[in-house]
């Protein structure tokens, strides 16, 4: 099949600026919507998967700087979005395909001039504009990334069109916004209603297990990974109570990824402790890892610039196994590789660490009934090295506690 070529609809021509809270200013051209957006500037090292990145709810309130020099050559399609079903875009209304863009803004060096993919239905430029996402192109993203790497993620803003003003005024707007530390964003991204993903199985067969998954910013591929293993998944709001969880009669409990500071998630930590106290098997990823860690008594902290990419090596302490993983987090658990500690629910330990910097990447109870990882085993986008964790959870629910 010959890949269709399409040319993005030209956006409104005009200058744009990216302003960091330390006073650094980068000048380029408007990309996507024109206007003003504020957020925390972070960088993502992924060479592919920009659609999954932009629709990941964990990027809520963040301006993403793409390190890959050319972005947009595969366009935009109706299949790869990672927003929950029904999360409508600002402009387009409800989108059952999971295509809502959650990032606050997008900064790229060289947006492609032509889209070439048989799956593309429109261009990235057109989608950003239709969802009113303000972006900037034509800047030296290497310089921005080096600034963030050396000085840490910081508040920022992208301005174009009528939002442009003197640099000093734009800097005041950037500095007036709250930082990411201390912000609870779970309520902005969580589903308001429970919905169910049925398992993929032969007609007439019963689900192998039932899982209750708390939506803290869940990506669409996560319940799909459970369903592919014959599990029925009830995705519930972050406000769910333990009694409501128990009424669904689950075999296991799942804590998803999500945005914001885990130190603010008191209600979710309390729910996690209730689940642990009831002995229900538990699996968590990303923010879910931090919530399990907090429930077990560990503290959290804000990282200098976080981990955002799809090629980050993680070491499993017990086996020495290394997985190349997809990650998106700016906070982490306190702890060291292999350290053990007492919890109200039995002995716990740090199970995984990042091979690059020693950051905690997983915790577990020694009896095996609860475990979590900081990375994204659903691999959307990213490598599939960690997909076995879904099988491990199935084994725990089946009574094969390791």
How confident is the model over 24-65, as pLDDT tens digits?
Answer: 999 999 999 999 999 999 999 999 999 999 999 999 999 999
Residue 69 CB partners (closer than 8 Å, separation 6+):
109, 110, 141
Question: What secondary structure letter does DSSP report for 94?
Answer: -
Q: Is 260 annotated as a binding residue?
A: yes
- 258 annotated as belonging to a binding site for a ligand: yes
Q: Is 117 annotated as a binding residue?
A: no
Number of H helices, E strands in the chain: 10, 22
How deeply is 173 buried, as exposed, middle or buried, from its count of CB atoms within 10 A (0-12, 13-18, 19+)?
middle
CB under 8 Å to 278, separation ≥6 — which residues? Answer: 242, 246
Residue whose C-alpha is closest to residue 304's, from 104, 154, 162: 154
Do 186-397 and 5-176 have the same topology in CATH?
Answer: no
Assess contact for 68 and 46: CB atoms under 8 A.
Answer: yes
- Please indicate whether residue 376 is annotated as part of the active site: yes
331 annotated as ligand-binding: yes
Each residue's pLDDT expressed in tens, for the chain with a length of 402 residues: 444 566 666 655 699 999 999 999 999 999 999 999 999 999 999 999 999 999 999 999 999 999 999 999 999 999 999 998 777 544 443 333 569 999 999 999 999 989 999 999 999 999 999 999 999 999 999 999 999 999 999 999 999 999 999 999 999 999 999 999 999 999 999 999 999 999 987 677 889 999 999 999 999 999 999 999 999 999 999 999 999 999 999 999 999 999 999 999 999 999 999 999 999 999 999 999 999 999 999 999 999 999 999 999 999 999 999 999 999 999 999 999 999 999 999 999 999 999 999 999 999 999 999 999 999 999 888 889 999 999 999 999 997 765
- What number of other Cβ atoms are within 10 A of residue 311's Cβ? 13
Strand partners, 89: 93
pLDDT digits (tens, 9 = 90+) for 309-361: 999 999 999 999 999 999 999 999 999 999 999 999 999 999 999 999 999 99
**The two three-digit tokens of residue 282, written as one number:** 């538990």
- 105 marked ligand binding residue: no
Residue 321 has which token pair? 């196994």
DSSP element (H, E) containing 301: strand 300-316
Per-residue tokens: 110: 């060289």
Model confidence, pTM: 0.93
393 annotated to bind ligand = no
One of 3.50.30.20, 3.40.30.10, 3.30.70.360, 3.30.565.10 is the CATH number of 5-176, namely 3.50.30.20
Q: Two tokens at 374?
A: 């900081």
Cβ 87 vs Cβ 98: under 8 Å: yes
Among the listed residues 26, 329, 352, 376, the single catalytic one is 376
User: 300-316 and 346-354: which strand pairing?
Assistant: antiparallel
Residue 135 marked in a binding site: no
Contact (CB, 8 A) for 270 and 341? no
Q: Where are the domains of the chain?
A: 5-176, 186-397
Question: H-helix or E-strand containing 315?
Answer: strand 300-316
User: Which residue shows structure tokens 């060479």?
Assistant: 47
Catalytic residue among 36, 82, 364, 378: 378
**Residue 329 designated active-site:** no
Backbone angles phi, psi at 205, to 5 degrees: -80, 150
Measured CA angle at 288 (ends 282, 294), to 5 deg: 90
Does domain 186-397 bear CATH number 3.40.50.880?
yes
Tokens encoding 269: 């930590």
CA atoms within 13 A on the CB side of 78: 4
How far is it, in rounded angstroms, from Cα 294 to Cα 38?
30
Query: Catalytic residue at 44?
Result: no
**pLDDT of the residue at 92:** 42
Site of tokens 């609860």: 370
Residue of 82, 286, 354, 361 marked catalytic: 286
């Amino acid at each position: 099949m010959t890949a269709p070529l399409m040319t993005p609809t030209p956006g409104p021509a005009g200058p744009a600026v990216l302003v960091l809270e330390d006073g650094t200013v980068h000048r380029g051209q408007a990309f996507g919507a024109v206007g003003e957006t504020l957020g925390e500037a972070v960088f993502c090292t992924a060479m592919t998967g920009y659609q999954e990145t932009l629709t990941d709810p964990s990027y809520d309130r963040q301006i993403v700087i793409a390190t890959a020099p050319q972005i947009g050559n595969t366009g935009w399609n109706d299949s790869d979005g990672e927003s929950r079903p029904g999360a409508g875009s600002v402009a387009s209304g409800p989108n059952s395909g999971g295509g809502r863009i959650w990032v606050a803004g997008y900064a790229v060096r060289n947006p492609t001039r032509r889209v070439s993919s048989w799956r593309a239905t429109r261009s990235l430029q057109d989608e950003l504009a239709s969802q009113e996402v303000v972006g900037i192109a034509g800047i030296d993203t290497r310089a921005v990334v080096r600034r963030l790497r050396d000085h840490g993620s910081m508040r920022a803003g992208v301005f174009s069109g009528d939002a442009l003003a003197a640099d000093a005024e734009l800097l005041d707007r950037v500095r007036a916004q709250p930082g990411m530390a201390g912000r609870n964003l779970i309520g902005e991204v969580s589903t308001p209603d429970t919905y169910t993903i049925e398992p993929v199985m032969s007609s007439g067969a019963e689900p192998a297990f039932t899982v209750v998954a708390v939506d803290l910013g869940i990506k669409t591929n996560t319940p799909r990974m459970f369903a592919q293993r014959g599990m029925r998944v009830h995705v519930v709001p972050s406000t769910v109570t333990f009694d409501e969880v128990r009424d669904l009669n689950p075999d296991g409990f799942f804590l998803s990824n999500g945005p914001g500071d885990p130190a603010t998630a008191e209600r979710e930590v309390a729910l996690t402790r209730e689940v642990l106290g009831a002995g229900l098997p538990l699996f968590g990823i990303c923010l879910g890892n931090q919530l399990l860690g907090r429930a077990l008594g560990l503290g959290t902290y804000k990282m200098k610039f976080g981990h955002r990419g799809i090629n980050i090596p993680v070491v499993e302490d017990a086996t020495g196994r290394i997985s190349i993983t997809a990650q998106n987090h700016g906070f982490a658990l306190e702890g060291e590789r292999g350290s053990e500690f007492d919890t109200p629910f039995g002995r716990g330990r740090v199970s995984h660490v990042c091979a690059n910097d020693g950051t905690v990447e997983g915790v577990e109870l020694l009896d095996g009934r609860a475990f979590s990882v900081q990375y994204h085993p659903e691999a959307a986008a990213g490598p599939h090295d960690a997909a076995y964790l879904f099988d491990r959870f199935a084994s725990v629910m089946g009574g094969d506690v390791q």
